[in-house]
A and B are shown apart, each in its own frame.
Chain A
Amino acid sequence: MKRNIVIIGGGIAGMEAARALLDLGHTPILVEASKMLGGHVAFWHRLFPDMSSAKNLVGRLETEIAGSRILLNTKVLSLNRLADGYSLKLSNGSVVNASVLLISTGFSLFDARKKEEYGYGIYDRVITNSDLEAWFSGKRDARVPDNPESVGFVHCVGSRDLKACNAQCSKVCCATAIKQAIELKECFPYAKVYCFYMDLRFFGKKYEDFYINAQRDYGIRFIRGRVSEVGETIDGRLQLKAEDTLSGKPLKVQLDLLVLMSGIVKNDSIRELADMAGIETDSDGFLRSIDNEYAVIESNRPGIFYAGACTGPKTVPETVAEARSAALAIHSYLEKL
């Protein structure tokens, strides 16, 4: 059998893995369900903490993987296990046999309509983090007012929340909120921007600087209290209720725009893929690695590897690092066959 490598999912994890595999002398097949590569990052405006352009990153990767076989608009319909690999039936009608599968299906963003009390889809001035990124990238959005006086960011929407069926931290939203708050402040320098948080988690390199920057240079206000509900006043402004836990008082504030930091949840189709491939999902719904310390990119089945957010929320640098290490692991796996 030809030593095919099939990468399922053409986000930055799949792209970076393809790039690294090309470097190592392989020709991976990259299967992507949507019409374009880049996944969520392709729709993002800038990346934290350096504020570099997300489009540039995706664009650069795209040129670098031109040598691999890229199948867009293609889904995996079925997956059979063979004695020495896997056979995939694709939605374009072809059947591909592969010695190695790399799963890089990424994540889904939490559907903010499920937190009805925050009014997404109900009130006119409530948007999500991904709506805001699209607006930053130039897409028109009637919900963003021309000159907002005050803007609120709600952290942890659909993450760390059992009621949203996702108890885990989404890892990237705290930094994303700050990044978006800064970008928004750059658009509307006179707007008051509030971030409502339960805990702030700035663990990465330069993140704390980023936080200080937001406080000191952009005057973004951080309020420790989880928003409980959002209403609308008669004049169409949003009225938000939280507890200011640090002063111990109930708090309300009127806003012109509310941004919900939708969390990272498992990819909707991951369960189906896992069942077909005979790999396991974890209690959080993401794919289960052999362990969560040393072998995060390895599955319980030989020849199936993971990269990126299919195993849990990841930042861009973590995803890229995982993709490279998966490429290396695949290379040595094939060498040993």
Chain B
Amino acid sequence: MTERFDTAFHPFVIPFLAGMAFVLAVCLIKAAIVVRELDKADRRKWILSLIHPNIIIKNGIDIILDCLIHVRLWKRNRLLGFMHSSIAFGWFMIILLGHLQVLIYCPERLSTFYYPIFFDYFIEGGQYTWISRMLDAFLLLVLAGISLAVIKRIWSRLFGMRRTTRPTFYNLIGLYSLWAIFPLRFLAEQCARAGDLSVAPWWAYSISLCTFMVVLPFGRYLHIPAEMLLITFRNAGLEIKKPHKGMARVQADSCPNCGVCIDACPMNADPANLKDSTVYLTRQLRRGNAERVREISDKCMLCGKCTQVCQVGVDGPKLRILARAARKYRINPDFSNAGTGGGVRAVNKVLYFSGCMTALTPRIGLSVESVLKKAGIDYEWMDRDGGLCCGRPLHTAGRLKEAAGLVRRNEELIVGSGAAVLLVSCPICYREFKERYRLPGIRIVHYTDYFCELMEKGLLNFEKSDVCYVFHDPCELGRGCGIYDTPRRLISKAASIAEAPKNREESICCGGSLGSLSLDFRRREKITQASLENLYGSKADAIVTACPLCLSTFARYSDRPVKDLAQIVDEQTKPI
């Protein structure tokens, strides 16, 4: 193995070096801006996390698994996972092994930075080492990934994707330069190894690298460095606090525009909403297009499916709630003086909170009450004759301060009642209670969990019917609060159960969600129909859910009976 030139330099390395310097500088500046945008406590938390040994290890593992191997994408879509990880991991290994190669065979050239990139031009006979063979293998892997990427652009359905993002002109430049890098490297290397030292392919290779790196900080490829920062932020325990800054900005920048959220978004049952998925939100956030950010934020039903499927963990609903919160209103509600009557007494009892919506679906409240009676539970119904809202609708509308005021009022009432258990039937309320209420000494429980306990204690005497039900996981109960199993256990005790093709974490929003501010009634029907079609796919006789909004939304269009889980438990239990 010998060096071909004593100078160890050729002008074609300049584009690469310039690009590299540029991308490093811009990314560092961007990172500095983001860190500055964090509030003091968060910044402290983050810096401390960077020297915490456990978190360092976790950061390392997460970066390898998420950024290089794309484990989460593999789980979702194997072909897509292979495509992304072969490019990311392959490229990473090429860089790593390239440097190793220089370190072993010509360590004095390591300081040039460009030797590992253009090794075969400067070194003769380098191709016979084991390291070079491994490099070739990884280059082949990357080329396989690139060819898949090309196929995906032309025929995305092959990847199980019905819809993908339309790249912008800028991103297209990035895309094509990325595609060009590896075949050009292959070509240049093969020429050099064959003894053809013409510099044209090396120039092209270097220029394509430069183009990619210059484009990187301004397009979707920013996700590569941003995701690494996001992982350290997440492991430090940071949350989104400001609408467009700090953690929110890193999340937006981390979006790789893979488009998995487009097919997942339930709103896309109506093509009019195609441009309102989270991938477009992050795009508009990057561009600072306030009007579109507002439009996208207001429309979303906050079902959380995009976050569920997102491989980098962009929290679409949270980003939207904060975008809504940034808006200033001139009339602001105030609940400090809201008259709430004498308050309810339920010392050491179960306090049942049915929520506003349940007043319009009385069978839920009545069934819960009947089941409690059968099980011999001592309870009080807090809002039988109406009460205060739990605060979640205000919260999701971005009126955070007002929501907090309402939460405080409810806390006073509930704590003042002396109850031991707060039983909730509405998943929307339940999530708010779980996430935002401080109720010391009071257990907050959704009736699905509670009834399941009663069943296991033998307090409910079930009689199995032969009706087959399919359970629709309400967004707030499933993805929101992680309750998937207890409803199914109850149903299989009361009747037989079938599963819809998309269920549990993958459940499709009913379309009735309070999360959306701007979707009006008529524009929700298609969403509901798509959700129903999925449930019909189970071939069940009837649909069962555990949310008053899902219940009334489905009941409007469903071709088969729609029931609430409490109703089924009530119907299929006998007094002991």
Chain A CB within 8 A of B273 CB: no
In the complex, the answer to whether B521 meets A117 with C-beta atoms within 8 Å is no
User: Which residue in A117, A123, A163, A165 is a CB contact (below 8 Å) of B359?
Assistant: A117
Q: Taking chain B's interface residues, is the majority helix, strand, or loop, or is none over half, making it mixed? A: helix
Bound Cα distance from A230 to B363, whole angstroms? 12
In the complex, the answer to whether B362 meets A122 with C-beta atoms within 8 Å is yes
Near B by CB (< 8 A), chain A positions 198-257 give 229-231
In the complex, the answer to whether B362 meets A116 with C-beta atoms within 8 Å is yes
Chain A CB within 8 A of B21 CB: no
Chain B CB within 8 A of A162 CB: yes
Chain A CB within 8 A of B187 CB: no
List the 9 shortest-distance A-B pairs measured between CB atoms, nearest first: A117-B360, A116-B361, A122-B363, A229-B359, A122-B362, A119-B362, A162-B521, A229-B360, A114-B555
Chain A CB within 8 A of B176 CB: no
> Nearest chain-A residue to B364 (Cβ)?
A116
In the complex, the answer to whether A117 meets B556 with C-beta atoms within 8 Å is no
A172 smallest CB distance to B (angstroms): 24
Question: Across the interface, which residues of B come within 8 angstroms of A123, CB to CB?
Answer: 362
* 5 other A-B residue contacts (CB within 8 Å) besides A116-B555, A123-B362, A163-B556: A117-B359, A122-B362, A122-B363, A162-B522, A231-B362
Please give the residue numbers on chain A whose beta carbons come within 8 Å of chain B beta carbons, in ascending order: 114, 116-117, 119, 122-123, 162-165, 229-231
Chain A CB within 8 A of B20 CB: no
A311 smallest CB distance to B (angstroms): 24
Bound Cα distance from A162 to B360, whole angstroms? 16
Near A by CB (< 8 A), chain B positions 490-541 give 521-522
> Nearest chain-B residue to A113 (Cβ)?
B555
Against A, the Cβ 8 Å flags (1 = close, 0 = not) of B42-57 are: 0000000000000000
Chain A CB within 8 A of B5 CB: no
A233 smallest CB distance to B (angstroms): 10
B369 smallest CB distance to A (angstroms): 11
In the complex, the answer to whether B363 meets A116 with C-beta atoms within 8 Å is yes
In the complex, the answer to whether B360 meets A116 with C-beta atoms within 8 Å is yes
User: Which residue in A114, A117, A162, A165 is a CB contact (below 8 Å) of B362?
Assistant: A117
Question: Across the interface, which residues of B come within 8 angstroms of A117, CB to CB?
Answer: 359-362
Chain A CB within 8 A of B442 CB: no
Bound Cα distance from A229 to B552, whole angstroms? 14
Bound Cα distance from A144 to B240, whole angstroms? 58
Question: Across the interface, which residues of A come within 8 angstroms of B384, CB to CB?
Answer: 231
Bound Cα distance from A122 to B552, whole angstroms? 15
B493 smallest CB distance to A (angstroms): 24
Chain A CB within 8 A of B366 CB: yes
In the complex, the answer to whether A122 meets B366 with C-beta atoms within 8 Å is yes
User: Which residue in B360, B552, B556 is a CB contact (below 8 Å) of A165?
Assistant: B556
Question: Across the interface, which residues of A come within 8 angstroms of B555, CB to CB?
Answer: 114, 116
Name which of B362, B363, B522 has the most chain A CB atoms within 10 A of its CB: B362
> Nearest chain-B residue to A121 (Cβ)?
B363
Given the known interface contacts A116-B552, A122-B366, the answer about A165 and B361 at a Cβ–Cβ threshold of 8 Å is no
Chain A CB within 8 A of B170 CB: no
Bound Cα distance from A122 to B361, whole angstroms? 10
Question: Across the interface, which residues of B come within 8 angstroms of A231, CB to CB?
Answer: 359, 362, 384-385
> Nearest chain-A residue to B522 (Cβ)?
A162
> Nearest chain-B residue to A163 (Cβ)?
B556
Given the known interface contacts A162-B521, A163-B521, the answer about A114 and B363 at a Cβ–Cβ threshold of 8 Å is no
Against A, the Cβ 8 Å flags (1 = close, 0 = not) of B467-498 are: 00000000000000000000000000000000
> Nearest chain-A residue to B561 (Cβ)?
A113
Chain A CB within 8 A of B557 CB: yes
Q: List 28 A-B contacts (CB under 8 A).
A: A114-B555, A114-B556, A116-B360, A116-B361, A116-B362, A116-B363, A116-B555, A117-B359, A117-B360, A117-B361, A117-B362, A119-B362, A122-B362, A122-B363, A122-B366, A123-B362, A162-B521, A162-B522, A163-B521, A164-B556, A165-B557, A229-B359, A229-B360, A230-B362, A231-B359, A231-B362, A231-B384, A231-B385
